[in-house]
Amino acid sequence: MRKRTFIALILSGILVGCGSGNSEPTSGITGPVTPPKPSVKSSKIVTQGFEVSIYNRLAEQDAGDPEYNRDTPYQANEPVTYRDIVFGLDTQTESVQLASGFETFTPFQLISKAHALSPMPPQTEESIVSMDITSAMDFSQQHPSGSNLNALFSVTYDDALNRYYSYKNDTKTFFTVEEFLQYGRDGQALNAGFTRNLVLNTGLEYPVNMTFYIRIELDNGKVFSLETQEITFQVLDE
Neighbours of 72 (CB within 10 A): 9
Is the pLDDT score of 14 beyond 60?
Answer: no
Structure confidence at residue 100 (pLDDT): 54
DSSP-assigned states of every residue in 212-236 = EEEEEEETTS-EEEEEPPPEEE---
Structure confidence at residue 221 (pLDDT): 96
Structure confidence at residue 116 (pLDDT): 43
- pLDDT confidence of 231, banded at 50, 70, 90? very high
Average pLDDT over the chain reads 81
Q: What burial class does residue 207 get, using C-beta atoms within 10 Å of its C-beta: 0-12 exposed, 13-18 middle, 19+ buried?
A: exposed
| Percentage of residues of the chain with pLDDT beyond 90 | 55
pLDDT single digits (tens) 108-127: 455 444 444 444 557 899 99
CA distance to 24, 163, 228, per residue, from 58 (Å):
68, 22, 19
Structure confidence at residue 121 (pLDDT): 59
- Spatial separation of the C-alpha atoms in residues 181 and 183, rounded to whole Å: 5
Is the pLDDT score of 18 beyond 50?
Answer: no
Mean pLDDT of 40-58: 90
Q: Where are the domains of the chain?
A: 43-233
Structure confidence at residue 164 (pLDDT): 87
Q: Is the dihedral of CA 120, 121, 126, 128 positive or negative?
A: negative
Structure confidence at residue 39 (pLDDT): 54
**15-29, 67-81, 86-100: lowest mean pLDDT where?**
15-29
Q: Which is it for strands 102-105 and 223-227: parallel, antiparallel or unpaired?
A: unpaired
Mean pLDDT of 28-38: 52
- pLDDT confidence of 174, banded at 50, 70, 90? very high
Q: Do residues 173 and 109 touch, judged by C-beta distance below 8 A?
A: no
Structure confidence at residue 158 (pLDDT): 92
Mean pLDDT of 145-173: 89
- Spatial separation of the C-alpha atoms in residues 114 and 195, rounded to whole Å: 11
